[in-house]
Amino acid sequence: MFKTVYEFELPRGYVDKEGTLHKTGKMRLATAADEILPMNDPKVKQNQSYLTIILLARVIEELGTVHSVDTKVIERLFTADLAYLQDMYQRINSVDTPTLTTVCPKCGEKFGAPLDFFQLNFSDHQ
């Protein structure tokens, strides 16, 4: 089954206004809208670094017992926790390079060769 939501545990934890510590949560995969819509936000236009804050607020579905994870919650994270969540976001949303199983014409051994669509050159073939 295709996994779209990932659990996490923050290294330090989020401390809410009542002093409660929240360490566990869930982050979902980002959608195209998650990455495109924040580009129109005035805070992002003024400071590109704010994009991270909005992205994380959009994709974090749970953080302990916090009812709503918004930009204010993300802004109050400790820097170690922010870095942890940024890294997690990159890892779960990155695309692995596909491999093509092929056979060596000399020895007959099967192996996986990375397939990079950006490096393909069809100009030699007509």
pLDDT at residue 124 above 80? Answer: no
| Burial (CB count <10 Å: 0-12, 13-18, 19+), residue 69 | buried
Give the pLDDT band (50/70/90) at residue 118: low
Give the pLDDT band (50/70/90) at residue 7: very high
What pLDDT, on a 0 to 100 scale, did the predictor assign at position 121?
Answer: 52
Q: What are 52-107's pLDDT values in tens digits?
A: 999 999 999 999 999 999 999 999 999 999 999 999 999 999 977 667 788 888 88
* Contact by Cβ (8 Å): 76, 14: yes
Mean pLDDT lowest for which of 16-30, 43-57, 62-76, 102-116? 102-116
What pLDDT, on a 0 to 100 scale, did the predictor assign at position 120?
Answer: 53
Q: Phi, psi at residue 11, to the nearest 5°?
A: -65, -40
As a whole number of Å, the end-to-end CA separation of the chain is 41
What pLDDT, on a 0 to 100 scale, did the predictor assign at position 105?
Answer: 86
Tell me the three-class secondary structure of the chain, residue by residue.
CCCCEEEEEEEEEEECCCCCEEEEEEEECCCHHHHHHHHHCHHHHHCCCHHHHHHHHHHEEEECCCCCCCHHHHHCCCHHHHHHHHHHHHHHHCCCCCEEEEECCCCCCEEEEECCCCCCCCCCCC
Give the pLDDT band (50/70/90) at residue 125: very low
What pLDDT, on a 0 to 100 scale, did the predictor assign at position 126?
Answer: 44
